[in-house]
Every structure is written in C-alpha cells, then in structure tokens.
Structure 1
Amino acid sequence: MELNLHANATTTPKTRAYIQRSKKSVAQLAAELGVSETTIYRWRGRTTVGDRSHRPNNLTTSLSAVEERAVCELRTSLQLPLDDIVEVMQRCINAKLSRSAIHRCLQRNGISRLAKPDKPKPGIFETASIGFIHIDVKYLPALQRRTSYAFVAIDRATRYVFVEIHSRRDGATATGFLKRFLADFPHEVHTILTDNGAEFTDRFAVDKKNKPVGKPSGDHPFDQLCKQRGIQHRLTKPYHPQTNGLVERFNRRIAEAIGREQKRGSARRTFIDHADRDAFIAKFVHDYNRTRLKCLGYLAPMQALANHTGPNTKAGTHNHKCQLLRMLERRAPSTRSATAYESLLPCATAH
C-alpha cells in the first residue's frame, strides 16, 4: 500500500495506531517514541491514522458570488479554456481578477478540467455473403533497385487471400490480376471494393473530357471487366483507408512477414533476389489460407471456402467438392497430392 504522509510527519500509521491502543501515559509514550507530548495528544484524540488536509476550512477569495457564477457558467455552458475565461472576465466584469484566482474558482467547483469528448466507436464491416472481395496494392521494399507491388484480394466472408506480385501498378496489370482471381475463386463474385488508385478507377482523373466530377467514367479497363462479369465495383471514401481495412490489415501482415515493419528483437529478412522474395510471400499466403482463424470460428480460410453455408454457394454438392479438390491439387506443391489437403474438406468424399 502506498503511503501518502505529510513531508514533516514524525509518525507512521502503524505508530499512530499503537498510540491509540496504548494504555501508557502521555509522557511515557513521548519518551518511548521520541516525539512530543503534543503529538501523542493529537493522535489519541483521533479515530483514524491518516493525515488530514491542511487546507483551511474557510477559503478567502477575491471573487464575488456573481463573478464566481459567471466563471462557472463560462466553463460549463461554453466549454471555454482557462485563458479565454480570464480574458472574458477581465474585459467584461472585473479587470483586477487574476488568472490564479479564476483557476482556484474552477478547482473549488470541480470543473478545472474540461471533459474529454467521447471517442467515436470503431466501425465494423457489414455482414456480406461469400463473393464480397477487398482488393488493394501493397508497395514492397525495393530489391536490386527495382520496385515491386503485391496485388492482394481477400474475400470478406471466408478470409481467403489471393496475391500476385508485379513490377507495374497500372490499369492493365490490375485488370489482368482480377481476371486471374476470378478464374481462381470457386464462387461467384458479386462485389469488389477498392481504393481510388489509378490502377482501379479514373474517378479523379484530370485528363478525361466529359467525365463527371468526382465520379468514374466507366471506361477504365477494371470497371469494364467488372461490368462484363456483372460485378458491382465500389470505391472507398477518399482519405479513409479504414473502409478497406480488411485488406489493409493483411498488407500489414505481409510487411511484418518480410521484415519491413520490424518489431523489437526481430531481425529484418534478407532476400537473394526477387524470385526468392516472391517464393517466400507465396508460401506465406499458402500457409495463411490453411491457418485456423478465430474470426472464422477456428476454421481455415480454405475450410470456410469449401464448406461455406451462406447464400451464393454450392457447398455440399458433389460437383463442388470435386472442383475444390482439383483446385487444391493445382496449388499443392509438386511433392504432395491433393489428398494431402483433403483434411481441409470435411464434407469431401472420394469419387
């Protein structure tokens, strides 16, 4: 227990309790404890062992009752800081009031500190069926004086991740990435959410004529592919990356894995060349898709993808199981077969 004793206190709470219990005379206790008889009389007359406040019972103040009410009103109604209250009081009511007097007034009334505004509650993603895809581009550290970009797509419902690494981040590259993702993803995609990067949209392009201000023209190759496939392409609010936070969080996972965002006590990873780094990221994504996640009820994304029971799925059908097994066989390392991953498909059966 932390003791809060007066700086000049000659006794402790234990000593004070002993004084209150003792039957010895005042002179005997004073001699035994090495304190004055006044101290013995003081603590024998009290029932507690804590120091009392040395603040006077009656405080003198230079503020009248009207001035004190005005100070409190300025604080509670207008939420003015101390210096603004001093300026108002000196200009409008009493030029002789000091800053310290007004500060003591606020302390007496328990309003010396402004209440902090409530923090806005963090938003949560709306529940979406399988096929709501978040897509973003992750800048990778330069290697051999060349910059690379990781195109990342993640399904909101199953957390399944698809990643490709490219040396360019233009519309053609993003469109090609989307085509390969749609061919890889075993379910129908109905919505794609991206930021306002030029590789995804021409929303803020300044070199297009007859384009609505602040709106995409629909001529961007990424938008055209979405239209052809019947996919709704949503854009995040400018300067609000948290709207696409699901894929932003996975981008941070990549940065932590390759050592770009170092933690205390961890070493930065080094790669021989681009192929070495790309193989490391590919293995990282491969392992992530087979890692049990708390947000999925401790299922792996591949398990959730294979056995998702929500709308817009064909989970449990024989053809769907065969398709997923063939997909696993394509992605499994050459030294393994698809049967090594059948444990991820509880509903799969031999055919």
Structure 2
Amino acid sequence: MATITQDMRFRLALIHYAAHHGVTKTAIKYHVNRQYVYRWKNRYDGSWDSLRNRSRRPHHHPRQHTPEEIKLIFNMRRRNPHAGLVVFWVKLMQRGYSRSVSSLYRILKRRGITTIHPKNPKYIPKPYEQMQFPGQRIQVDVKYVPSVCLKNSAVAEEQFFQYTAIDEYSRWRYVEAFDEHNTHASTRFLEHLIKAFPLPIRCIQTDNGTEFTNRFTTHLNKPTLFEDRLKQYGIQHKLIRPFTPRHNGKVERSHRKDNERFYATHLFYSFEDFALQLQRYNRYDYNRFPMRPLGWKSPQAVLQEFLSAGVTHD
C-alpha cells in the first residue's frame, strides 16, 4: 500500500476548506497563493493518488540515445552476453559508438541488459581417506609463536617455533619447541616423534616449506636432510598441493585452537619457559581433551584402546 504523506493530508484539508469558504480565505488561512489552491482543486478526483507529486522526470532529452544507437547496443549485447562493461563499451566504440561508459551503463541498466555472469564451477572435494590404524599417516607443520607472548627483553627480538605432528587416526598430537626453522630442526623433531609415538609410522604429510622439501627451490633434485632421514626410516613423505593448507587441515585447525586456548593467555620469559609450558599444555589440555570426531573420547584414550586391543599392522 502506498504511503500517505503529510503533504497529501495538507492538500486534502486545503481542498475541503476551500469548498466551504472559498479560494481567497483558504489561501490566507494556509499561507499559500490562490494558484496553488486552484491547482490541487482541479487535480483532485476523490483519490489519494491524485494528491501525490507527479514525476518531474523529462519525457525526452536532447542528448538521449538515438534509436540507431539503442539498436546497435541490443545487437552487440545479443552477440556478447558475457562481456563486461568496459569490454562491451570498447567493442561498441569500434563500431562508431561515441557515448561515455557511464552513459552506456545507465542505458544497459534501464533496459535490463547488463552483463550475464556465468556461474562459477562448483568445487567438488575428493572423498576423504579414512585412516585404519594409528601411524598410517601423520600430519606435520610449523607454527610461528606470536611475538606478543615474548615479554622478556632478552627474548623479545627472537623468534620461536612450534613443530606439531597429529596422527590422523587417533588425533594424538606431539609438539616441540624450537628456536630455529630449517631442515635440521625438522629432522630432530622427526627423530623425537618416532621415539614418542608408540607404533610404527607409515607416512608423514607436510606442506611444501623449505624446512621439509626442496620442491620449489633451485635445488629441486637434491633431497633435504629431513627427506633423507625419512627414507632412512622407510617412511613415505607425502606433500600436499601447493597453497592448499586445508589438505593439512587437522594440524592447521589445532594451531588455530592453540591461539585461542594457549597463546592468548600465556606469556614466555625464555625459550626454556616456552618449551616447558607448551609441553605441559599439549599433554593435559590437548591429548586428554574429549573430541567430537572421536565420539567424545580423548586422543590418548583412543590410542590406548587401540594398543590394548593388541592389533598390529606390518
């Protein structure tokens, strides 16, 4: 329903008063001129719509698009339905069109023939491979420790790193603090992980960082120390697709939770202090924390249940 404005009510009251007292007295009482009263008396037909302001938009303009130009625009749009505004304007200019791009946009919008954008292809993810036993595949990644957590002036200029490994089957996690970020630190972390994990490890999955691989460096064919040590232990090294961190989603999500549950509330005054607090947090607040994907069991409980069942995998 259209809105009845105060101006419309004023005009109706003016018309009713003029019907009983005349135009002159109405003009004096309402502080308007006589022509204003006559105009609305003649326009009023008993409906509210007759009291509305009429459009002041001109019916034509001396520089409006000519029929020939409109025909050219329609013909070109029919042949180029997906062309953007600027591309479409350039094509028209090559055929004698002389209007500005803003004028073209207005006529396209007014006629409802703007660009038709085709739908983006829908991403169909591959089915996730469910792990059958602990150690079948372990995700490994590195997290930079936020600098705001380093409060001692002696360590404020340093950079600490958190190496993280998560078993995809049990979500059991092993973390370790390092003050360097290279293939030597990755190799030491791998050796400590193998000793800490109670079962043989079949596969290690990492991103394409230089601390793990030379895949995107000038030494493409030269394996890193980390890759040599994996080969020595007979462990497969799986690299995720470049710039696709969701393929290492479990360890990436654990790093996000670390920001919320650990780094947002802890301060470190030395590297030793950071290493001790990180180890304590992982043991009690992560590996013993119930998780929904595990049926509200903790990673430690899932791993212990598997070990107690006595199942082995060669």
Are 1:155 and 2:152 matched, yes or no? no
- Which residue is 2:238 aligned to? 234
Contact 1:74 1:80 in 2 (8 A): no
User: Structure 1 106/75 Cα, relative in aligned 2: closer, same or farther at 3 Å?
Assistant: farther
Are 1:247 and 2:251 matched, yes or no? yes
Equivalence map 1:90-105=2 (5 Å): 90-95=93-98, 97-105=99-107
Q: CA deviation digits over 1:101-125, x for unaligned, max 9?
A: 4323311342335537537648577
Equivalence map 1:102-121=2 (5 Å): 102-112=104-114, 115=117, 118=120, 121=123
User: Structure 1 44/228 Cα, relative in aligned 2: closer, same or farther at 3 Å?
Assistant: closer
Are 1:42 and 2:42 matched, yes or no? no
Distance, in Å, in 2 between the alignment partners of 1:255 and 1:196 is 23
User: Structure 1 52/316 Cα, relative in aligned 2: closer, same or farther at 3 Å?
Assistant: farther
The alpha carbon displacement at 1:291 in A equals 1.8
**Hey, which of these two has a bigger chunk of helix by percent?**
2
- Which residue is 1:172 aligned to? 184
The alpha carbon displacement at 1:136 in A equals 1.2
- Which residue is 1:329 aligned to? none
User: Structure 1 193/254 Cα, relative in aligned 2: closer, same or farther at 3 Å?
Assistant: same
The alpha carbon displacement at 1:165 in A equals 0.7
Larger-gyration structure (1/2):
2
Unpaired segments ≥5 residues, structure 1? 20-25, 46-50, 209-213, 263-267, 308-313, 321-351
Are 1:221 and 2:236 matched, yes or no? no
Distance, in Å, in 1 between the alignment partners of 2:262 and 2:118 is 40
SS state at 2:159 partner? strand
SS state at 2:141 partner? strand
Are 1:282 and 2:279 matched, yes or no? yes
Equivalence map 1:125-164=2 (5 Å): 126-129=128-131, 130=133, 131-141=136-146, 143=150, 144=155, 145-164=157-176
Q: CA deviation digits over 1:85-144, x for unaligned, max 9?
A: 23322331443x454543233113423355375376485772231421111122224541
Contact 1:75 1:111 in 2 (8 A): no
The code of the aligned residue for 1:107 comes to K
The alpha carbon displacement at 1:294 in A equals 2.7
Distance, in Å, in 2 between the alignment partners of 1:316 and 1:173 is 33
Contact 2:194 2:201 in 1 (8 A): yes
The code of the aligned residue for 1:283 comes to R
Contact 1:72 1:106 in 2 (8 A): no
User: Structure 1 44/285 Cα, relative in aligned 2: closer, same or farther at 3 Å?
Assistant: same
SS state at 2:169 partner? coil
Distance, in Å, in 1 between the alignment partners of 2:121 and 2:94 is 35
- Which residue is 1:89 aligned to? 92
SS state at 1:92 partner? coil
Q: CA deviation digits over 1:231-283, x for unaligned, max 9?
A: 21012333443432332232233344454xx6xxxxx7433333333233223
Q: CA deviation digits over 1:142-181, x for unaligned, max 9?
A: 5414332211101223222110112233333322221221
The alpha carbon displacement at 1:39 in A equals 5.4
Percent identical: 24
Contact 2:138 2:204 in 1 (8 A): yes
- Which residue is 1:330 aligned to? none
- Which residue is 2:25 aligned to? none
Instruction: Give the structure, 1 or 2, with the largest relative contact order (CA under 8 Å, sep 6 or more).
Output: 2
SS state at 1:234 partner? strand
User: Structure 1 71/202 Cα, relative in aligned 2: closer, same or farther at 3 Å?
Assistant: closer
The code of the aligned residue for 1:247 comes to V
SS state at 1:146 partner? coil
- Out of 195, 200, 204, the position equivalent to 2:212 is 200
Unpaired segments ≥5 residues, structure 2? 21-29, 31-36
Contact 2:172 2:300 in 1 (8 A): yes
Distance, in Å, in 2 between the alignment partners of 1:232 and 1:242 is 20
Contact 2:162 2:177 in 1 (8 A): yes
Normalised by the length of structure 2, the TM-score is: 0.68
